A and B are shown apart, each in its own frame.
Chain A
Amino acid sequence: MSSWLDYTINGLIVGNVYALVAVGLALIFGVSRLINFAQGSIYLVGAYIGWVAVVQLHTPLPLTILVVAVAAALVGLIIERFGLRPLQNSVRIAPLLATIGISFVLDQLVMLTFSPNPRALPSQLPDVRFQVGNGTIGPLDLLIAGVGITSALLLFVFLRYSKLGWAVRATAQDRDAAMQMGVDVNRVNQAVFGIAAALGGVSGMLVGMYYNQIDTAMSLQATLKGVVAEVVGGAGNVPGAVIGSLLLGLVESYGVAVFGTSYRNLFAFLLLVVVLVLRPNGLFASARQAPPEPLTGTFIAPSRPVRIPRWALLVAAGGFAILPLFPVSFYVLQTLINAWLLGMLALSLTLVAGTIGQVSLGHAALLAIGAYTSALLSLTLSVPVGLAIIGGGLMSAALGTLLISPSFRLRGHYVSIATLAIGEIVSLVILNWESVTRGPIGISGIPPLSLFGYDLISPTSIYWFSLAVMVVLALLQARLLGSHLGRSFRAIRDDDIAARAYGLSLNRYKSLAFIFGGFAAGVSGGIAAHLYSYINHETFNTQQSILALTVVILGGLGNVVGAIVGSVALVGLPEVFRLAAEYRILIYGIVLLLLVRFRPQGLLGTI
């Protein structure tokens, strides 16, 4: 039985670890208004470099810390130089997407090098605990606190007394003015990426030692926690990030004390959403201060879409429709079924992210809501599967829109953070709401697809069913885009201030977009549930959200045909080249990076 003091100590120690990640995020946001989604990957790399040093090279602890810091800093410098600097004049979403791509690539490289199995990372410190009041504290706690405090002091001295530190602060406050003082902004970027990466890498290593375990799932969690802490403290505010981290650590620790371990992350993301909605500039932003520029304006690469004649679309649709009449393998049909399901999700996301400009990073949550609703309706209430799927779509439309609505007032990168957090919250609620969702066990024995009493079990019938549903959704969406409503959506995306000045109600239109998009995604999730017959809280995860985003960027944001072409390409190409599954995510990351760099408007152009 742990005491409250123990939970406090644990909260502060974990908060210290978060602080090392969040301070880096704050430095980077400060100078370049970018949320670095690759920060968690550097943390992961740091943990594994630490493992190599400790377990294979048997380095003493101080040397291990040094090696990790230097190696991680190098990774940070490489990311800045080759991943981000070429994007300086691109559209504003480009660097954010690039850091997402980089994080996929780094995580997969680590996974391919070290295998996804967890490893132990011993701390080399004596395993003793000292009594403090009615709690205990160990040498590793002291080490983490020491590293945290030392880093904070070094950072303070750097920012306050070194020339480069002054340049960092000046750039954070006014980039153009700093350049006019002769500050080389590229060097400032390099400096903050190097520092952020060194701190992040050391943090990953310390966490590995704290739990004596490292695995590749650490990466996304670290990014999310760092972002939560940073936003709570006020984006770009370095001392705020430290306080936000400690606060987050304590909230989580006390939450675990009261409700149990599986609630840890739920508290983190709820805290984030509450802060984003109530105080988007963080808890400590002073009133007189202008908010950090929320990155507004045109988010997508403007371009002229490729015109595809109607007959070509008809021929393509007809070709795919009669495909099962030819002797094609089960495998090809299976792959295309996956493409049609992803296509529905992409239709949804291309509407939300492309047409109305809300770049959602949590879209898989809509799949999950649709899937669970449809599965439970058919299992527990014996609703016919066809109706249950429609029920899933409606529930996704309603619940998804309701959940996202608090973030309608946010703009730019903040929308992406909020949707990411809401996606995580949905998955955590599914995990914890055992009486309805059966919690971590998941739902099995979901009845197969059926329509008007006929089971759709053969691959051919499933293929036709999913193709038909996708085509209907695509036609509806195309109609929508050509209507007055579609034009209003695009007006809001291109200039929400002007749109409001013309009397458009932003909330109403954003809701309409999410309702339509939520329905399409929910239907996709519903079909998937009956297809898989088993789902759990991890079936629809952030990786799928990012995959969908890559698909719609590949096809061209806002482009209906592009969403489908992108799905077929991203699902199909790895199959054509018979790539092993573990390389797929790597390929997706690389595709995203190449697109952002060389063809931000996608294959068919943005609409």
Chain B
Amino acid sequence: MTTSSPEPLLALSGVNTFYGQAQVHFDLSISVGRGHIVCLLGGNASGKSTTMKIILGLVKPRSGDVSFDGASLLGLTTPQVVRRGIASVPEARRLFADMSVRENILMGAFVRNDRDAVAQDLDRMLTLFPRLGQRLSQRAGSLSGGEQQMVAMARALMSRPRMIVMDEPTMGLSPLYVDRVLELIRTINQDGVSVFMVEQNASLALEIAHEAYVLQTGRIVLSGPARALKDDPRVRDAYLGGSEAA
């Protein structure tokens, strides 16, 4: 195990997950250190998105534990998990397509009641994502994929989370936006937010991550500091195995 800080912010330990009869996770253990960017890599259908859903309480594991800041999340509903300080950027962004960009971003602050500070944070988002300024009253569904990703990230930040979980944030984006998104993740992290991200694109993710885990058909087959994994030929092998099994 590789976390450098003594007590991780988020820890999954011994998680086994099933959809009906089919087992998706086998004894999964992952930890995210405070202030770190941790990346979960894996091929198609290896169980990455399900890991996100376990953290958010959208899917419940059959056994094992998920704890955040020392307290278990297992008995909590998704809204309760969000109120503990975890925000999400879901797979395929999942914006509220018929609501405006402004409404989408403000939906991220749904759990907050400090209206003035929320208004300030909205302004802050517009400096962080300048493109969105001209788009505020547009239907979110009418934006390009890259712009939608910006909205999804802004929306997640609006809850002032301690941690953001992101499911394939670069998927389907043009190379220009991919770089921009990775840079933003780094910026967000430097502001003190821990990041847990799921990616298929290993080389990109390992550029910015501190630690990484490689998931293959529901099992962690490799983990360690991102720098060490970057040159590890087994990362590529694991991938090929993973997608073949899918």
Contact = CB atoms under 8 A, between A and B. Distances in A.
Interface of A: 163, 166-167, 169-170, 173-174, 176-185
Q: Which 3 pairs between the two chains have the least Cβ-Cβ distance?
A: A182-B111, A182-B82, A177-B94
Contacts of B94: 174, 176-177, 180
A9 to B, nearest CB: 34
Contacts of A178: 96, 107
A184 B57 CA distance: 13
B148 to A, nearest CB: 12
B103 A179 contact: no
16 contacts: A163-B110, A169-B98, A169-B99, A170-B107, A176-B90, A177-B94, A178-B96, A179-B58, A180-B56, A180-B94, A181-B155, A182-B83, A182-B110, A182-B111, A183-B79, A184-B79
Nearest to B86: A180
A167 B110 CA distance: 8
A169 B111 CA distance: 16
Interface residues of B, number: 24
B47 to A, nearest CB: 18
A163 B58 CA distance: 23
A166 B88 CA distance: 19
A182 B98 contact: no
Interface in B103-134: 103, 106-108, 110-111
B125 to A, nearest CB: 15
Contacts of A183: 79, 110
Interface in B136-173: 155, 159
Given A170-B99, A184-B77, 14 more contacts: A166-B103, A166-B106, A167-B110, A169-B99, A170-B96, A174-B96, A176-B58, A178-B96, A179-B58, A180-B56, A180-B58, A180-B87, A181-B108, A182-B82
Interface secondary structure of B, over-half rule? loop
B13 interface: no
Contacts of B159: 181-182
B111 to A, nearest CB: 4
Contacts of B98: 169, 173
Contact of A180 (B90, B99, B103, B106): B90
A179 B108 CA distance: 11
B189 interface: no
Contact of B110 (A173, A181, A185): A181
A530 B93 CA distance: 63
Contacts, number: 61
Contacts of B155: 181
A181 to B, nearest CB: 5
Nearest to B97: A173
A564 B94 CA distance: 48
A175 to B, nearest CB: 10
B107 A179 contact: no
Contacts of A166: 99, 103, 106-107, 110
Contact of A181 (B58, B77, B97, B107): B107
A169 B139 CA distance: 14
Nearest to A176: B58
B78 interface: yes
Which residue, of A173, A174, A180, A184, has the highest number of chain B Cβ atoms within 10 A?
A180
Contacts of B106: 166
Contacts of A163: 110
B96 A180 contact: no
Contacts of B96: 169-170, 173-174, 177-178
A178 B82 CA distance: 11
Contacts of A174: 94-97
Nearest to A186: B77
A263 to B, nearest CB: 38
Which residue, of A178, A182, A185, has the highest number of chain B Cβ atoms within 10 A?
A182
B87 to A, nearest CB: 8
A185 B57 CA distance: 14
A170 B108 CA distance: 11
Contact of B79 (A169, A170, A173, A179): A179
B7 to A, nearest CB: 25
A222 to B, nearest CB: 29
Contacts of B97: 173-174
A174 B96 CA distance: 6
A173 B94 CA distance: 9
Contacts of B110: 163, 166-167, 181-183
Which residue, of A169, A174, A179, A185, has the highest number of chain B Cβ atoms within 10 A?
A179
B111 A180 contact: no
Interface in B58-101: 58, 77-79, 82-83, 87-88, 90, 94-99
Interface in B23-81: 56, 58, 77-79
Contact of A173 (B82, B99, B111): B99
A178 B108 CA distance: 9
Contacts of A184: 77, 79
Contacts of B107: 166, 170, 178, 181
B56 to A, nearest CB: 6
Which residue, of A177, A178, A183, A184, has the highest number of chain B Cβ atoms within 10 A?
A177
A284 to B, nearest CB: 13
Nearest to A290: B97
B99 to A, nearest CB: 6
Contacts of B78: 179-180
B218 to A, nearest CB: 22
Which residue, of B58, B94, B96, has the highest number of chain A Cβ atoms within 10 A?
B96
Contacts of B111: 181-182
Contacts of A179: 58, 77-79, 82
B82 to A, nearest CB: 4
Nearest to B108: A181
Which residue, of B87, B94, B108, B111, has the highest number of chain A Cβ atoms within 10 A?
B94
Contacts of B108: 181
B90 to A, nearest CB: 6
A178 B103 CA distance: 12
Contacts of B90: 176-177, 180
A182 B82 CA distance: 6
A371 to B, nearest CB: 45
Contacts of B56: 180
A185 B77 CA distance: 10
A169 B95 CA distance: 12
Contacts of B82: 179-182
A177 B159 CA distance: 14
